[in-house]
Structure 1
Amino acid sequence: MGRRIIWIPITLVAGFIAFAFLLHFLGVNLERFISSGFEMFLPIVTGFVVATSATQDPALEIQLTMPRKYHNTSLLRLVVIVLWSIAIGLIAAIIPTVTHLTFVPDQLKNSNAAVKFLGLQFSWIATTLWFVSVALVASLLTRNRSASSAILGAIWIVEVLFMAHLVETTSWLQPLFLFPTIVAPQITFWTVNRLEVLLIGLILLPVGWLLLHNTEGLLKGTSEE
């Protein structure tokens, strides 16, 4: 996986913290910006890492001949990426919590401090798992890093620009609303939405695991890259 897996989440979080302090001195509202780093940017960056590494392995042909199945190795790699990103996010989340710079959705405003903290962490973790699962499936179906990354980018743009309006007029899209805390904190289905997003991510993971069994497709994808 290399140093990229280790340093990308750390660099993202460190950059956001530094920029947040700059905004503070400029008099800009920080709470929403900081929260967007967790819910909107860390998940998509983690998804990009998965999309660009799921099927790309210089030693893929050798690994496919070894007793340990490649799909198990790839799944372990995925778990490491996710856990590392979550660990960095949880550590970084302490800073806005201690400095009282958290942006809380309406459904959590009357909760105690512990529930608010856990709810906010659950929110971006659910979105992260969603992006990771979609990235895994997209990369295995397209067998192309650029294509799978483009899919993730398109989803992110649609979510940021249009989803808040779409969920108001089309209720069946509510389970696909990925950034409710930042884009529409006033919604009344925030908790249900977070559970639905997490569930979709968990459902897609086995799909990705099954696609990893397609060794012919993995080799073809590597050769095409």
Structure 2
Amino acid sequence: MRPLTLWRYEMLRAGWAALLGPPIAVAVGVAAALANPVPGDATTARILLGALEMAVPLAAGVACASLVGRDPAIELQLTAPTSYRVTLLRRMAVTLAWTAAVAALTAAVLIVTGWWARWPANHGPLAGQLTWLAPTLGLSGLGFAAGAVFRSPAAAGALVTTLWAIQQFFAGSAQEHLPGRLLYLFATTRGTVPGDWAANRLTLLGAAAVLTVLALVLLGRSERLVKEEDE
């Protein structure tokens, strides 16, 4: 199979959630900004950046949570020359690449139009890209690892959305202690302790790497996958 054909196939196998989730997330954010009842450029800019920091990562996390358990006849997958975990890692890669393309294009539009700079805590056009990148990778790593543990897209997706909702509705409690602040997903638009933003973004990136490695280790145990298929 040619490389381009292979990657196109993996994108299709990743599912419609991976394809449509990020654009819909951005569209919802833009619609919310247009319908904003509170006047002021800063508030509108916060909503637009919030779409990148909140909605896009949720879409990516749910998409990555659905990667494990989508393939029928898992025994055939396990006999292929390419290991199943490499196949899933490719699908995660194309999911994140598409998400990054949508988020980066949206960020570029906000920068060019001036909306990016109208949010006081924007952290600049370069380092500020961690606004969406860090939580996207963090939730995606969590979703991928949850999929490997539960082997159920529904259960893994529920874990991702539950964590997202908890941090949304209990933002104050999540930031009372340093571990909670370092793992808080919305430090740009919902705020954090001054000086903690960079550490928060790097912690989320590190957590994403650890969770992805954990998922690959679990997916390397083929007996777990075969047992799930038999059940």
| Length-normalised TM-score, structure 1 | 0.85
Residue 105 of structure 1: which of 121, 132, 153 is its match?
Answer: 121
Q: Which has the higher contact order (CA 8 A, sep 6+)?
A: 1
Residue 184 of structure 1: how far off its partner (Å): 1.3
Q: Does 1:144 align with 2:160?
A: no
Task: Point out the more displaced range, 12-21 or 96-105.
Answer: 12-21
**Matching residue of 2:74:** 60
- Counterparts of 1:21-100 in structure 2 under 5 Å? 21-23=34-36, 27=39, 29-58=43-72, 60-100=74-114
Q: Could you tell me whether the CA contact under 8 Å between 2:175 and 2:184 is conserved in 1?
A: yes
The offset of 1:130, in angstroms, is 0.6
2: CA distance, partners of 1:128 / 1:166? 18
| Structure 1 contact 40–179 (Cα < 8 Å) conserved | yes
* C-alpha separation in 1, matches of 2:97 and 2:179: 31
1:143–1:96 Cα change, 3 Å: same
User: Which residue is equivalent to 1:6?
Assistant: 19
Task: Quote how far apart the aligned CAs of 1:4 are.
Answer: 4.1
| Matching residue of 1:189 | 196
- Structure 1 runs, 4 residues or longer, greater than 4 Å off: none
> Does the 8 Å CA contact 2:29/2:51 hold for their aligned counterparts?
yes
For the residues of structure 1 that align with 2:174 and 2:36, how far apart are their CA atoms?
A: 31
Give the share of equivalent positions with the same residue, in percent. 28
Unmatched segments (≥5 aa) in structure 1: 109-115
User: Shift in Å at residue 90 of structure 1?
Assistant: 0.2
Equivalent pair of 2:28/2:51 in contact (CA under 8 Å) = no
Normalised TM-score (structure 2): 0.83
Contact 1:16 1:37 in 2 (8 A): yes
Note if contact 2:32-2:47 (Cα within 8 Å) is conserved in structure 1: no
Contact 1:6 1:84 survives alignment (8 Å): yes
